[in-house]
Amino acid sequence: MDAAGKIKLVESYVAAYNAADLEAMLALFAPDASMEDPVGAEPQRGREAIAALYRLGFEMGIQLALEGPVRCTASAVAFPMCARTAKGRLYIIDVFDLSPAGKIQRMRAYWGPENQIGEMDLVIPS
């Protein structure tokens, strides 16, 4: 996948999340994908486990916004974004490792308590 395809994948991810379109979200992931959100939490494996985390975010009313350019490498992308609710913001850097088919194989979200402003009912591992 070229850089334009990787950028489109990230834009599709943000758009699907903001539309609370779980099917579109899951279509971006490889069937055996893993998700570590935040890094340090127990990785969720497979689409059902990943879907449960996204449902939680949808229920919280979180909306995502890119906060800078997508960084592309041979088989990964990294990008800064902000997750917003009515009461708070969380600044995140997501990294997607991509499968040969261009699906998200591994998703890692880098954030901690120091990246939160206001109130968000987030689970932060100790």
Q: Are 35 and 50 in contact (CB under 8 A)?
A: yes
pLDDT for residue 122: 57
Q: How many domains does the chain have?
A: 1
Q: Does a structural domain hold residue 99?
A: yes
Residue 123 placed within a domain = no
pLDDT given for residue 24 in this prediction: 97
43: domain CATH number is 3.10.450.50
- Cβ(107)–Cβ(33) below 8 Å: yes
In a domain, 32, yes or no: yes
Host domain of residue 79: 3-118
Residue 42 in 3-state DSSP? coil
Give the pLDDT confidence of 96-114 residue by residue, as tens digits.
999 999 999 999 999 998 9
User: Catalytic residues, which ones?
Assistant: 13, 37
pLDDT tens digit sequence for 25-67: 999 999 999 999 999 999 999 999 999 999 988 988 999 999 9
Q: For residue range 60-94, what is the model confidence (pLDDT) as tens digits?
A: 899 999 999 999 999 999 999 999 998 899 999 99
Q: Is 124 inside a domain boundary?
A: no
Strand ranges for 1-126 from DSSP E: 29-36, 44-45, 63-66, 71-72, 76-84, 88-98, 104-110, 116-118
